[in-house]
Amino acid sequence: MTRDPKANPAPLPLTAAEDRQTLLRTAYGRFPSGVVAVAAMEDGRPLCMVASSFVAVSMDPALVAFCVQWTSKTWPRLTRAPRLGISVLGDGQDGAARRLASRDESKFDAIAHYATAEGAVFIEGAAAWFDCSIDNVLDAGDHGFVLLALESLSISPAVEPLVFHGSEFRRLGVRDLDRTALKSG
Ligand SMILES: Cc1cc2nc3c(=O)[nH]c(=O)nc-3n(C[C@H](O)[C@H](O)[C@H](O)COP(=O)(O)O)c2cc1C
């Protein structure tokens, strides 16, 4: 089979791209994701960053992961916490996501949250919460690939997750185009 030029534009070698950064950002943005808050206590105060690179990795052992930019100022501080709280942000928490991603020292003031005895911090109103410890951090170019061991979790089935796609916050749309296909397949 050959490429149909109408359906599939010719591949552009990265070396030939005029603006490699923009091209990559646009291409990576074709893949929709959720948004998580990664948060922990530091000296009695909550500390947080937001990540759209979260991914479920393994069932046994239970592992999840996200990618962190090496330039992050928050990440080295989060690594000192014994536990990290991952909150899968819910539909309607786009404002909270923006705030929690900022460097504003008072960003938690208007955001309902709670901390566990081990120091993981969770955002109220999220779709799911994962209490994690760092398993491994792999070098992945300008990011670190952070593998997290899942210690405990809770789920809020009534809350739809917030979606991040093409550099915008979205909400889930049409449901199950063909339910039977997935369930039997
Ligand atoms: C929707 C969204 C998704 C983001 N995803 C990531 C991510 O996957 N990895 C990352 O390192 N930073 C990500 N960021 C940026 C961080 O959340 C945060 O803005 C940054 O870490 C704050 O800077 P600092 O860590 O230097 O304090 C994201 C920000 C937003 C708003």
Instruction: Give me the CATH number covering residue 57.
Output: 2.30.110.10
- Residue 39 inside a domain? The answer is yes
- Residue 139 inside a domain? The answer is yes
pLDDT tens digits, 82-120: 999 999 999 999 999 999 999 998 999 999 999 999 999
pLDDT tens digits, 60-75: 999 999 999 999 999 9
- Residue 74 inside a domain? The answer is yes
Confidence of residue 184 (pLDDT cuts 50, 70, 90): very low
Residue-number span of the structural domain to which 107 is assigned? 35-164
**Residue 69 beta carbon below 6 angstroms from any ligand 1 atom:** yes
- Residue 136 inside a domain? The answer is yes
pTM of the shown model: 0.94
What one-letter code names the amino acid at 14?
L
- Residue 177 inside a domain? The answer is no
- Residue 13 inside a domain? The answer is no
Domains of the chain: total? 1
**Span from the CA of 69 to the centroid of ligand 1 (angstroms):** 8
**Residue 101 beta carbon below 6 angstroms from any ligand 1 atom:** yes
- Residue 11 inside a domain? The answer is no
- 143 burial (CB, 10 Å; 0-12 / 13-18 / 19+) is middle
- β partners of residue 168: 165
**Residue 50 beta carbon below 6 angstroms from any ligand 1 atom:** yes
